[in-house]
A and B are shown apart, each in its own frame.
Chain A
């Protein structure tokens, strides 16, 4: 499933920022809430080898351009094979956002998501399948 990223849009210049902000950085006007799909393109990324206190090395940080134009900073588990322009999905774990590099299956999932209802149906089927497998395992282990 694709995460929804809370964001806000400036009514004056239409710029979108994420996470939401009270005022547009470039206009003194209140911003409107919008929601963006958590997928986008890598603008740049780095791996910190001496991260600040509270973080463990290596720390992967990426700047991602979300669909809709907002740029977003998040973590990632790995940067192997990652390039500027790579497509990534964003997921929240304990309200911390992580990117993951999209493989062929992920791309198909995104495509289905975009395709609308047909995609929803497919992902609903996939979810219920996954649940069934999980329940089966839980029963077996109890």
Chain B
């Protein structure tokens, strides 16, 4: 397997955007190519979770490639629900690791805010098991089942709230974030109940945005040290354990095995906090903190920007925002910026960064490890 390098990274500001999805992707893609000093890639991997329904366009690899000005570059689309961006990164990595290509553009994006919230929830919910959906289960509903089980194991309301408080505080320093405002623990605890015990400020927003990276066979500032994929049953009821995600554990095991080092080497992490409790679950699934300690560690400030292990310096899905297929790549863009000293205003001292992306209700998860050259 050949070494693969991240030569360029860029993203759009996340939030409510008026541009078309293809224009958001172009902004990110052209930015990534510029930062890599590359005129044209020799292949493109596109991530979009559901452009057919969100914007009404299909054949989307060709659609996006042509819009970007690369109609003659080979393009393919990758989709694994909410982790599509991370999956596309893997596909690009594999093309280079196998020696099939020398410079690959990976771009992901989603445009959702032009639709009404119930419609967006329904479309995202289609990634869930059809039987559970027939009982009204949505992503927040199943996340709420997970959260209640987590709280029964001793995770407190303050610990959950602190995840949101921390990530909003980080987003305040990130010009690309959807929410640039701080929240207090009280605001989180008093926010509207969405799916008991999950409240509005435990949940990520509906966002538009795009992110892109350029992967090359030629040495650049950041090396892909390891990638892992993990999966689990589509139906939540087919699992015996709710409070940890097998898909994350399997992805982490694969990624760390490829990298040849363990979680103790990770200096900064971008985790999939679509719901605040997922950050706590993920910290433990990834082996970044001992089992049962994620809440305590968070309350103690160890995962804050100035803590031992900064988690979600970008603000995470919670506050940077969650433009579905852009998210996995936006996490990687943030990691690249952290490793190359370009995370102005929220810079950490890091040599190894970890990005974790959750697809569906943890059915198809990814862990990506990046190392400064």
Binding site for B on A (CB under 8 A): 17-19, 25-26, 43-55, 59, 61, 63, 70-75, 79, 84, 96
Contacts and interface: CB of A to CB of B under 8 A. Distances in A.
A46 B131 contact: no
Interface in B202-241: 233-240
Given A25-B238, A51-B136, A44 B148 contact: yes
Contacts of A19: 131
B196 A52 contact: no
Contacts of A54: 136
Given A46-B196, A74-B135, A84 B149 contact: yes
Contacts of B1: none
Contacts of B146: 44
Contacts of B198: 46
Contact of A46 (B117, B118, B122, B144): B144
Contact of A43 (B194, B233, B242): B242
Given A48-B141, A63-B237, A73-B135, A43 B196 contact: no
18 contacts: A25-B234, A44-B146, A44-B148, A44-B242, A45-B145, A46-B141, A46-B148, A46-B195, A46-B197, A47-B193, A47-B196, A48-B140, A48-B194, A51-B138, A53-B122, A63-B145, A74-B135, A84-B148
B131 A73 contact: yes
B192 interface: yes
Contacts of B145: 43-46, 61, 63
Contacts of B136: 48, 51-52, 54-55, 59, 61, 75
Contact of A61 (B118, B121, B137): B137
Interface of B: 117-118, 121-122, 125, 131-132, 135-138, 140-141, 144-146, 148-149, 152, 192-198, 233-240, 242
* Residue from A17, A19, A73 with most neighbouring chain B CB atoms (10 Å): A73
Nearest to B196: A47
Determine which residue in A19, A26, A53, A61 has the highest number of CB atoms from chain B within 10 A of its CB, and name it.
A61
Nearest to B117: A50
Contacts of A25: 233-235, 238
A52 B125 CA distance: 9
Contacts of A61: 135-137, 141, 145
A75 B137 CA distance: 10
Contacts of B137: 61, 73
Contact of B236 (A52, A63, A75, A84): A63
A52 B126 CA distance: 12
Contacts of B237: 17-18, 63, 70-73
A49 B193 contact: yes
A70 B146 CA distance: 17
Contacts of A45: 145, 148
B120 to A, nearest CB: 11
Given A61-B145, A63-B236, A73-B137, 19 more contacts: A17-B235, A18-B237, A25-B233, A25-B238, A43-B145, A43-B149, A44-B149, A46-B144, A46-B145, A46-B148, A46-B195, A47-B196, A49-B196, A52-B122, A61-B135, A63-B145, A71-B237, A71-B239, A73-B131
Nearest to A26: B233
Nearest to B238: A25
Given A25-B233, A63-B236, A73-B237, A47 B135 contact: no
B20 to A, nearest CB: 26
B234 to A, nearest CB: 8
A48 B195 contact: yes
Given A46-B145, A46-B196, A52-B121, A73 B132 contact: yes
A66 to B, nearest CB: 10
A122 to B, nearest CB: 33
